[in-house]
Amino acid sequence: QKEVEQNSGPLSVPEGAIASLNCTYSDRGSQSFFWYRQYSGKSPELIMFIYSNGDKEDGRFTAQLNKASQYVSLLIRDSQPSDSATYLCAAGGQGAQKLVFGQGTRLTINP
């Protein structure tokens, strides 16, 4: 069974610091990886996606992919209290239609 594993947290980070969220996946055939942010009681919101090994940066967010280690991470620089949410990691195959989600990591940014 294809699995995506995340530490459920909570992960507590001081405001202004770097938050590091990690995810591992079991299916070596996975080719697309996504990070979603979900505020309590709201729907998941796509914040980053990555398909190739290495880093991808978008503003304060950096996604990192290491296919050899089957590892995906999300770095949030200059963390803000508004970044406090649950972050979901998802992995998909070539077509990315059948995504497998991790259980999410709850992140708290402390002012």
Partner 1 sequence: DAGITQSPRHKVTETGTPVTLRCHQTENHRYMYWYRQDPGHGLRLIHYSYGVKDTDKGEVSDGYSVSRSKTEDFLLTLESATSSQTSVYFCAISEMYEQYFGPGTRLTVT
* Contact set with partner 1 (CB under 8 A): 32, 34, 36, 42-46, 49, 51, 88, 90, 92, 95-104
- Smallest gap, in angstroms, from Cβ of residue 48 to partner 1? 10
Nearer to partner 1 among residue 91 and residue 109 (C-beta): 91
- Smallest gap, in angstroms, from Cβ of residue 56 to partner 1? 13
| Contact yes or no for 107/13 (Cβ under 8 A) | yes
- Smallest gap, in angstroms, from Cβ of residue 32 to partner 1? 5
Show the beta-strand stretches assigned E in 32-95: 32-38, 45-50, 54-58, 61-66, 71-76, 85-92
| Contact yes or no for 23/67 (Cβ under 8 A) | no
Nearer to partner 1 among residue 6 and residue 79 (C-beta): 6
Nearer to partner 1 among residue 17 and residue 46 (C-beta): 46
Nearer to partner 1 among residue 71 and residue 101 (C-beta): 101
Integer CA distances (angstroms), 54 to 32, 42, 67, 74, 93, in order: 13, 31, 9, 12, 18
Strands 32-38 and 85-92: antiparallel
- Smallest gap, in angstroms, from Cβ of residue 26 to partner 1? 14
